[in-house]
Chain A
Amino acid sequence: DVKVTQSSRYLVKRTGEKVFLECVQDMDHENMFWYRQDPGLGLRLIYFSYDVKMKEKGDIPEGYSVSREKKERFSLILESASTNQTSMYLCASSLVPAWGEQYFGPGTRLTVT
């Protein structure tokens, strides 16, 4: 059974803190993605990675960075969290080609106070 897991379901952080969101997939997928989901805006792509140590900017990369040291793990980093980064964060993975069916994790609801 395909599985994408995320480190936390809920997270509360203070403004200015460094935040790490972890995502692990067990499907040996090459491609991994980070999205944020906000009401009325759908899902917006932050970063994606098509191979270990490779990353590409999505539509809204500002204020975020990513790390992919192992194929199964893709981390999203908020260097200095701000209140406008309060959102639902969803991780996904896909096989080759990158833009095929994506499998999503359960999401992390991040609140920055």
Chain B
Amino acid sequence: GQQVMQIPQYQHVQEGEDFTTYCNSSTTLSNIQWYKQRPGGHPVFLIQLVKSGEVKKQKRLTFQFGEAKKNSSLHITATQTTDVGTYFCAGPPNTGNQFYFGTGTSLTVIP
């Protein structure tokens, strides 16, 4: 079954509003990665977090990796129309040789 769930599945925001997507894994992950897929495009790597409780920022984007390494979040401050797309979390479990993507959150920004 699906190992990594993301909520919400869809989010519509007015330009300038904040946005957060949450990622929850059924198993402990050795790292968490975030990808962005623009409409009609392919996933593009944004960032990787490795340590428990790690927080990283990229301009208006803030990424967190949970203490138990089973959840993560991506927060965008003051969204812009260029933020439109689907955001995926992804990562390998601590044991076994696999790689799981989350179900994704599709962000629409209304100008």
Contacts and interface: CB of A to CB of B under 8 A. Distances in A.
Interface of A: 33, 35, 40-45, 48, 56, 58-59, 90, 92, 99-107
Given A99-B91, A101-B48, A44 B101 contact: yes
B42 A58 contact: no
Contacts of B98: 45, 58-59
B99 A90 contact: no
Interface residues of B, number: 27
Given A58-B98, A104-B42, A105-B42, A41 B103 contact: yes
Contacts of A42: 2, 4, 6, 88, 101-104
Contacts of A104: 42-44
A105 B2 CA distance: 24
Contacts of A103: 45
A35 B101 contact: yes
Contacts of A43: 43, 88, 90, 101
